[in-house]
Structure 1
Amino acid sequence: MNPHKPHIIIEGSVQYSLGELKDNQMLYDFDKMLIYLNAKGKLLFGKKFKIFEEDRDIVYKLCNFYIKDEANCKKLNIDINKGILLSGPVGCGKTSLMKLLRHIVPHQKSYEVIPTRNIAFAFNNIGYTIIENYGDKRFYCFDDLGVEPTGRHFGKDCNVMGEIILSRYDLFLSHKIKTHATTNLNAKELEERYGNRVRSRMRQLFNLVAFDKSSRDKRD
C-alpha cells in the first residue's frame, strides 16, 4: 500500500483502484470498491464468496463510513465519529463484512474482530482482568454481541460485555476511540440483555446499520 495513493491496493500481482486522486482529494468509486471487495472476499473466505445485490445498500453505507465521506454519511444518518453496530439475522454476512471492509482503508488504524463468547469464557478463567484488558486504547469489533454466556468467576455472575461496553464508552468520551460490534439481537433484546444504562451508552457509541429481518442465510 502506497501511503500517497490510498486508493490503489495491490493483492498479489493484481492492482485495484478504488477511485482517483483529484486535487489532493480522494474520490472513491463505489462500483470499483465492490470489485475489490468481491476479490478480497474470495481471498479471505473462499471462492464462493460474493457480495449479494440485495446487500448493496448496506455495503454502500458501510463503505461511506469507512472512507469517512462526511457528506454521504450525513445523508445516510451516519456519524463518522461513532462506531458501527451491524445487526441482522444469523448467517446474513455481518461478521464477514466487518472483517472485509477494514481492508478498503489500509492507511487507517484497523481493529481486531473478537467473538464475545471467547471474552466471556476468558472471564470465567481469568476474572475481572479481562474487562480491564478490553478497556484499553486498541480498536475492537465485538462479534455476536448479546449471545455470549453470562460470565461466572469464583461463583460470582458478571454481565461481562455490558461492563466492557461501559468501559469502551468512557474511552470514546475521553479519547474518541471507536468500538464496533455485530449482533443478531434487536434493540429491545439488547436492552433486556444488558439493561437500560448500557443500551443508552450503546446509542451514543454506535451507528446502527441493520440488515432486513428477512435477509437470507448465506452460509452453505
Structure 2
Amino acid sequence: MKNLSPHIIIEGKKQYQLGELKVNEIIYDFSKILTYLNSKGKLLFGEKFNIIEEDREIIFKLCNYFIKDEANCKRFNLDTNKGILLSGPVGCGKTSLMKLMRYIVPHIKPYKMIPARNIVFGFNHIGYKTIEDYGNTNYFCFDDLGVEPTGRHFGKDCNVMGEIILSRYDLFLENGIKTHATTNLNAQELEERYGNRVRSRMRELFNLIAFDSAVEDKRK
C-alpha cells in the first residue's frame, strides 16, 4: 500500500514530521531530520547515542543524497544514481549512520546492512554460490569493506568482495541497482586490497563521502 505521508514517521507514540508535503514533493527540513535521527539513534543504539556538531556536514550530505535534493547534491558533486561509499577511521560512526539513513525515506526500498567479513565466512562455508547470492538485484550496504579476510574454499583463495563488487557493477550498468558500503580504508589502500580494475569500477559505482581522518573514536 502506498505511503500517503512519507514525510511523517511514527515511532511508538511519537510522531516526527520531517518536512512539508506540497503536491507530490516533500520539502524537507534538515533540523527536523536531525531531531528524528537523534531519537531513532537512541532507540537503535542506546541512550548514549548523540549526533555531534562535528558530524553535521557529513550527515547533511548523506541526507541530501537520500532525499534526492538535486540542488544540494549538485553542490556536493553527488550523483543520486550511484551508491554511497562512506569512509572514515574506526569508531567514527559510519555503520550507525548508514543504518539510520534508511529510516528517513520509508517510501524507498531499504538496503540490507551486511558485514563484509560475514560474506567471506559464508563463502568459506558454501563457496561461489555466496558470490552469486550478492550479485542479485537486492540492495545492499557492505559494512567494513576492505578489512575482511581472504576467502578460501576447498583450498582455493578468492578475493570475495572484489568479485562481488564486479558483479554489483554489472548490475548497476544493466539495471541501475545501487550498492552502498562503509570502509576504514583510503583510495590507495582500497586499490592495494582489490586491484586497479575493481578500484576503477568502484569510482563509477560509488559517491565517496569521507570523514576527516582525525575524527574522534566515539566508542571510547
Task: Answer yes or no: same fold by TM over 0.5.
Answer: yes
Aligned pairs for 1:115-134 (under 5 A) are 115-134=115-134
Partner Cα distance (2:23, 2:105) in 1: 20
Partner Cα distance (2:56, 2:134) in 1: 32
Partner Cα distance (1:194, 1:33) in 2: 36
Provide the residue aligned with 1:77 in structure 2. Answer: 77
TM-score (norm 2): 0.98
Provide the residue aligned with 2:218 in structure 1. Answer: 218
Partner Cα distance (1:155, 1:61) in 2: 44
Q: Point out where structure 1 has 5 or more consecutive residues left out of the alignment.
A: none
Partner Cα distance (2:98, 2:134) in 1: 19
Q: Point out where structure 2 has 5 or more consecutive residues left out of the alignment.
A: none
Distance 1:6 1:188, change over 3 A: same
Partner Cα distance (2:48, 2:70) in 1: 33
Aligned pairs for 1:151-162 (under 5 A) are 151-162=151-162
Provide the residue aligned with 1:95 in structure 2. Answer: 95
- Over the matched positions of the two proteins, sequence identity in percent amounts to 75
TM-score (norm 1): 0.98
Partner Cα distance (1:23, 1:158) in 2: 51
| Cα displacement string for residues 66-96 of structure 1 (whole angstroms, at most 9, x for unaligned residues) | 1011111011100000000000000000000
Alpha-carbon distance, 1:25 to partner: 1.9
Provide the residue aligned with 2:51 in structure 1. Answer: 51
Provide the residue aligned with 2:207 in structure 1. Answer: 207
Letter in 1 for 2:37: L
Work out whether residues 2 and 8 of structure 1, in 8 Å CA contact, stay in contact via their aligned partners in 2.
no
Letter in 1 for 2:160: V
Tell me the matched-pair count: 220
Letter in 1 for 2:49: F
| Cα displacement string for residues 23-80 of structure 1 (whole angstroms, at most 9, x for unaligned residues) | 3321000000000000000000000101110000000000000101111101110000
RMSD of the TM alignment (CA)?
A: 1.0
